[in-house]
Structure 1
Amino acid sequence: GVKVGIYGMTIPAPLSNPYPVIIREDLAEIEYATIKEMMANGADVIVCLSHLGSELDKQIAASVPYIDFIISGHDHFVFDEPVEIINPEGKITRIVQSGPFYQNIGKLRFTFENGEVTFNDYDLVPVDAGVPPVPEIKAVIDQLKAGITAQYGNVYTKVLGVSLFDLNTQPTGHNNFKDSPLGNLVTDAFINKTHTEISITADGLISDRIYRGAITGADVFRAVGYGYDTTNGLGLRLVTFDISGIELIKGLEVSLSMLGIDSDFQLQVSGMKFRYDPNMPVGERVILSSVRINNQPLDPLRMYSSTVNEGLLGILVSIGGVQVENVNFLPDNEYTVLSKFIKKKNILIYRSEGRIREHAQGDNLTETLTDNPVQEFSYKLSNNYPNPFNPSTKINYSLAGTGLQFTTLKIYDITGKEVANLVNEQLGPGNHSVEWNASDFPSGVYFYKLQSGNFVETKKMTLIK
């Protein structure tokens, strides 16, 4: 028979590093020693199961001999054909990758004869609803799902909201946009919870996309399931802190230093926007004139309230040396915060919108990033409908700007006493609506007041029972 030697490698700089794991960065030396040991034990074929990402895999293939195939992972690419690299022996090492989350199964065939490995063919087999379940495996999965629903509720079928578009983890639309639909949603949810001025997460802390259509708790957990909270079994918690403008730029530069090296460090933001130039030296890539915090130019000396998850805080502080103040660990997990935000919004319309942009040749470096192709809105408080009403009426309103701002819509009786608070959260520009059910209130004249940023408007309505 043919002896196949299989070994595994993972990234040398993971976002979590639990004791007693020891991280070594001498990848080529580790692999060569491992391969020689397997060959000494009779291995005819050498296969590397890699979670290094395709760029590192190419470097390894070119520098380490005797590897026949690299089953690649980490950067979630789909290779329709093997990537062929000439190794130090002068032979071909083939790299294959079938994409993330079991969307495909890779099928690779080779022949070993007279001491030589010959590549035959490679194919991607889609895994979809057309693949029948294996009863034995399905029984195990059903048992696991029953345990999950017993603890967390019906996370597989209960609908939290609906998205009109796929919430991708990668940017969509304009080539220079680097903010992703899912990144925008997650960071907006952070600010909605904490009411800080800005929020930040990283691509490496967002996992699977959320597909267009109905969204369940399981969909949310697949997106933000990293980390483990020992109190409830959920993922990373939120953290708030204050950060100066100078330190914020330092944090952005830490992320941008990894361009072309590790996409996990690509940031996603809410409450701010900026451009960067990838051709500039490390540490000088942020275009300072482009940075806006809630549409205002960055003040390097001002302190800004911020929200991240605890994983990103550790990276910024330990790896980036970023200094922050007034750190507050919240009991709220990303999963819970995002689930509640989706439920509150109900209908999601999220796309890449240019919160983060990569500078392209010919761009104006001094522009203030107001050139957003997303539809512009103006402030407006509409008349409620119906009016007079009994017992419910709908209030439509629209908000201007390009970022989130704290918004309230309150109801007052004829004496000026506040009787209801319908809206009390961070909202972005666009059209919004809210319904007031006045079943528990007496007939009479009421006033509803919208306040968002510097905009304030009040209108009158009549309840007749």
Structure 2
Amino acid sequence: MPPATGLSRRVGRLNCVLPDLRGLDRHRRNDPGGCDHINPRTLFVGGNDMKRLVTLVSVASFLFVASVCGDTLTVLHLNDTHAHLLPYGPKDAEGVGMFGGMARVATLIGMNKMSEPNVLLLHAGDISVGDFMFQKYLSIPELEIMKQLGYDAFTLGNHEFDLYPSTLKYELSTAGFPGSGFPVLCANLDYSADPEMGVFIKPYVIKEFGGTKVGIFGLTTDFANSGSNPQPDVILPPLSVAQAWIDTLRVGHGCNVVILLSHLGTPTDQAVAASTAGLDVIVGGHTHTQLDQPITIGNTLIVQAGEFGHYVGKLHLFVDGGVITGHDFQLMTVDNNVPAEPTTAGMLAMLAAGVEADTLFGPVFSHPVAQAAIDLDKDFGQGLVMDNPMGNMIADAFRQATATDIVFQPQGFINQQIWAGPQVGDDIFQTVPYGFDQTTRLGFKLATFETDGMSIIAGLEFSVYNLPYLEDFFMQVSNFTYAYNSSAAPGSRVDYGSITIGGSPLNPFGTYTVTVPDGVVPFLTQIPGFSVNNLTITDQFMYTVVRDFMAAHSPVAYYRQGKVLDLAAITDPMAGVEALVQMVSMDQLNGSITKAKVAEILTRDFGIVAKHIEGGRDVAAGAKLHGTAQYVKAQMRLGLIGDMAGQTLLYVMNRVAGSLAPANHMAQEPSPSSESALIPAVFELAQNFPNPFNPSTAINFTLPSAMPVSLEIYNVLGQRVKTLVDATMAAGSHVAQWDGTDQYGGAVSTGVYFYRLVAGDQTATKKMMLLK
């Protein structure tokens, strides 16, 4: 591979130039240090390893190409590299990350270009944000490397707009675009208010390989309009323009093959494929999806190559007579088995040394600051438990720093996991890299504010509204629990009775202090009815808070804790019991159940419940759940089950008991002869029925024992409308009717109302709607 001479010429300049991000005043700042902090030899391998890789790539390519005839098109592709220029992930004995690294990527691309026919090299967007390299140099080094590797096209990702179009234009012009660059695509970008952007951005590019004419157009997610900062530019809805661009390329320009270079995410890619004609391939990005084989929708292939340069996708298309007649696909792993291209590795070492020489950063690549005892994953949960170790650790770190009642940390603000072993500053920054403070070059700060319980309910409904299609706003939490049902109608997914703060039920009319990243605040203020009071932007950065928390708690070990539950996983009583068994294992692993014998007894008891259910003995199953609930409470009092874990187990047991037959939601009191069999095992407030309603609705609730009960109706302003029950009631199932009138008998207006049940020391709240 030829030396990266263009990149070499610019390294010195990059070490001392960065723009004002809004005004683009190209001020310069002296670089106080040299390039002696990083040893280039730790970043690459050469000699026999390189020869071995050349041989393997060449043989594999020969075997494939020899098996076909006609034109073979080879599409190499990456996406969502997020400034991960250096290797990352778990470290080898020399402290070098085992995954990714642009010097290793350069080797794979170079070898494939030498051995494969008709290579197209594509990037599906988001080279920006994610590493200290970006905080120091922006995306200029990655653009330079991409030029040297001979990219054929690059689609803008949403994060390319995070620092405004002015910064994007600066990056491109500094890297020699458009003159010496490659095509930068976005066919759904309206830059009519920003004509200069049209110098750099094009809708499509056409490539010819022998008798095959290939049209490539780019689309960017319109989520960027609210989730990033493209203004004054506007990103148009991709589905509204896709077919027109396909027709432009296939009909207008006579392209045999049409490729969408997409930064839309896999679900939207599938929607585009299903709603268009004439589209052959979608090379995707945005959702960081690792597709081991293409998704096929009609005649369209969809591919995506994970994240951070850990994989390079390779798609062979066999074209005969202008028609694709076959394909072959593989994800090529980029790890420490791939030798680094020496010139690129050397340039990256110089850039890394420039970061470390900057007093704003220091030795963030070379000096360990914390230890992780285990891998802390950030994967969105599956099944019942939806919190994750990274979310729990970050949220707890924030709360330790601010001492608020609650922390909300959006899933989309967690970029990467932590792997077991020593952690340098860059490892930690890669987990929370979003935002850009021009003074410190760090990311978002922490913000604190006050809000009320009703706002929290509205915020939670907003956070789960678009699941499973959009996870970015899903809330990881500290000192807080909640449950929702992703299969329920959006807007009515959260079980308000599940919400606890510090172990106490949410008071819809109480006031709470909250911590979030300051980048979250603009989203909260857009939620109808969400109140943000006494907002303070602290001087504490996400990165430094997490770094210091990990250092203070090393070696760090965090687990799933059951703070957030998706009730869609409890499809029937048996599924609920299986989930309870899994929760016991989880709680034993995370230390919430401190004695193995307790976990053994719970697992045995839930096995007995399962056998009762299988045998159709639901009354016996309910009775066993009641007894097990008493055991859980006793172990909580002894400190052998943590309070949060115990409350969560009781909550799920309550859900399972409520799903057993005979139903616990009875419209009348049981007869004396059957009362003992039908007394419910646990407290529950049911959803009113019908809902929405007019003119009246029934509210069912169950009590495990006699106790004082209050059932009240509130409006969305938190004003009490009517008290339905205020008495001591017996154990069993009860029903209250509300006829849509207030305390004085006057009819209330159409709208959303809340009903709140207080029974002894237990509280539950649910929402209903009156439609006239």
How far 1:400 moved relative to its partner? 6.1
How far 1:236 moved relative to its partner? 1.2
Equivalent pairs counted in the alignment come to: 373
Say yes or no: does 1:24 pair with 2:236.
yes
Say yes or no: does 1:231 pair with 2:439.
yes
Say yes or no: does 1:102 pair with 2:322.
no
Instruction: Name which of structure 1's ranges 95-104 and 42-51 shifts more when overlaid on structure 2.
Output: 42-51
How far 1:17 moved relative to its partner? 2.5
Residue deviations 1:49-85 (CA, integer Å, cap 9, x gap): 2221111111100111221111122222222211111
Alignment partners' CA distance in 1, 2:370 and 2:383: 29
Q: Which amino acid aligns with 1:45?
A: V
How far 1:243 moved relative to its partner? 1.1
Please give the secondary structure, in 2, of the residue aligned with 1:191.
helix
Say yes or no: does 1:375 pair with 2:587.
no
| Residue of structure 2 in register with 1:438 after alignment | none
| Residue of structure 1 in register with 2:740 after alignment | none
How far 1:159 moved relative to its partner? 1.5
Residue deviations 1:384-407 (CA, integer Å, cap 9, x gap): xxxxxxxxxxxxxx996449xxxx
How far 1:144 moved relative to its partner? 1.8
Q: Counterparts in 2 of 1:56-135, with a 5 A limit?
A: 56-86=268-298, 92-135=299-342
Match of 1:219 among 427, 447, 450: 427
How far 1:255 moved relative to its partner? 0.9
Contact 1:199-1:307 within 8 A present in 2 as well:
yes
How far 1:377 moved relative to its partner? 7.3
Match of 1:37 among 215, 233, 248: 248
Q: Which amino acid aligns with 2:218?
A: G
Please give the secondary structure, in 1, of the residue aligned with 2:399.
helix
Q: Which amino acid aligns with 2:419?
A: Y
Q: Among the aligned pairs, what percent are the same residue? A: 33
| Residue of structure 2 in register with 1:281 after alignment | 489
How far 1:286 moved relative to its partner? 1.0
User: Which structure has more RCO (C-alpha within 8 Å, separation ≥ 6)?
Assistant: 1
How far 1:47 moved relative to its partner? 1.2
Change (3 A) 1:8 1:281: same
Alignment partners' CA distance in 2, 1:205 and 1:376: 27
| Residue of structure 1 in register with 2:14 after alignment | none
Q: Which amino acid aligns with 1:154?
A: P
Alignment partners' CA distance in 2, 1:21 and 1:318: 21
Contact 1:79-1:97 within 8 A present in 2 as well:
yes
Q: Counterparts in 2 of 1:336-355, with a 5 A limit?
A: 336-355=544-563
How far 1:42 moved relative to its partner? 4.3
Alignment partners' CA distance in 2, 1:218 and 1:180: 21
| Residue of structure 1 in register with 2:217 after alignment | 7
Say yes or no: does 1:252 pair with 2:460.
yes
Alignment partners' CA distance in 2, 1:23 and 1:171: 27
Say yes or no: does 1:141 pair with 2:141.
no
Alignment partners' CA distance in 1, 2:325 and 2:345: 37
Please give the secondary structure, in 1, of the residue aligned with 2:415.
coil
Greater CA radius of gyration, 1 or 2? Answer: 2
How far 1:321 moved relative to its partner? 5.3
Say yes or no: does 1:177 pair with 2:401.
no
**Which is helix-richer, 1 or 2?**
2
Unaligned runs of 5+ in 2: 1-209, 595-639, 646-772
Residue deviations 1:109-149 (CA, integer Å, cap 9, x gap): 11222121233200111100111111221122112211211
| Residue of structure 2 in register with 1:304 after alignment | 512
Q: Which amino acid aligns with 2:408?
A: I
Contact 2:458-2:527 within 8 A present in 1 as well:
no
Q: Which amino acid aligns with 1:31?
A: A
Change (3 A) 1:84 1:274: same
What RMSD, in angstroms, separates the aligned Cα atoms of the two structures? 2.3
Say yes or no: does 1:201 pair with 2:409.
yes
Alignment partners' CA distance in 1, 2:450 and 2:326: 56
Alignment partners' CA distance in 2, 1:320 and 1:186: 27
Contact 1:80-1:124 within 8 A present in 2 as well:
yes
How far 1:331 moved relative to its partner? 2.2
Give the structure-1-normalised TM-score: 0.76
Please give the secondary structure, in 2, of the residue aligned with 1:287.
strand
Q: Which amino acid aligns with 1:128?
A: D
Please give the secondary structure, in 2, of the residue aligned with 1:289.
strand
Contact 1:171-1:352 within 8 A present in 2 as well:
no
Please give the secondary structure, in 1, of the residue aligned with 2:526.
helix
Please give the secondary structure, in 1, of the residue aligned with 2:347.
helix
Give the structure-2-normalised TM-score: 0.46
Contact 1:73-1:97 within 8 A present in 2 as well:
yes
Unaligned runs of 5+ in 1: 87-91, 379-397, 404-465
Alignment partners' CA distance in 2, 1:235 and 1:338: 12
Alignment partners' CA distance in 1, 2:294 and 2:641: 50
Alignment partners' CA distance in 1, 2:464 and 2:420: 30
